[in-house]
Structure 1
């Protein structure tokens, strides 16, 4: 039997992406997000307007989409409730966000030079997509949809099916964000600071299983 619960969150499950961009001073910013989907050689990104990544992407018009595997969940969670904005927006402060100027160091991640764009790649991520901005479209007053073109894809060699240009789906285990919680291989694999900040009702159930 179906019910009509009036869902407050529609995060049914998508891969986590670490977006690297450049701030005005030329230093790197890194932001975890999961409102992303791909079509051909393009990607659509949904980002809130109050974040540093949105400002950077609109100004610099390029980024790197770094896809972490499920084993990188610790690093992703360490930077989950941080923002590159020096002045933390009120709604984020209420969720527990704080300003962090160097998310690479906080996440214990390594900057790797890109080849076609200025923002760095995340060395530890098995898949890294260098991108340029094509269009930006407002989604109401609080968010923007970004269409980016993938200029170059970097993939760990052991993820490629030998003799092809394809990723082996049996070897690639992406980190999935589902209703603000982390999943890998279909299993809830790590407590989520984001779920706590969003006050998700299932967070206590998850903790009881850890």
Structure 2
């Protein structure tokens, strides 16, 4: 993996920042301390850092999930169906505003590693004028640490195929997640093959902050 750049720790992690690795051909790496909080806000982890531009080192990142399944196999028909489902079902907090999309593969483990989807896989979703870019090129802006498309300078939907488990020839359990600006959800999904195509259904929301809490107005007596 080619590791491009360091990451500067945001305010809440400024006291004893761990070593950091970033972008790579085979994977992307986040700091160890922050990765420990992945189950609480897996898709918002990226927003805790600000990128720099120096080339640091070459390193190898794990390319299998916790069950030993190579992450390259996530880019199969099931993974494609799940990403299609997410694109069609995620909420739109900013209607009418241009957006870009990206896809990452796998869990964020204790070494802070995750895998950007390959370009051929991303190209499957570049239709109807949708802009889908590699996670390797993402940037983060101040002051709110928002993940953006560096060319268009717009916020990016980050879609994650977090964990895929095959239960049978026609059934998969999938943990997936999405993030956009300050919002995120981690979902428990099921993919089932019916009449030659994969149908994705949501079983539950595992974590997230969408929909945002409604502000209650104080009513007069």
Task: Give the TM-score, by structure 2 length.
Answer: 0.29
Larger relative contact order, structure 1 or 2 (CA cutoff 8 Å, min sep 6): 1
Highest Rg: 1 or 2? 2
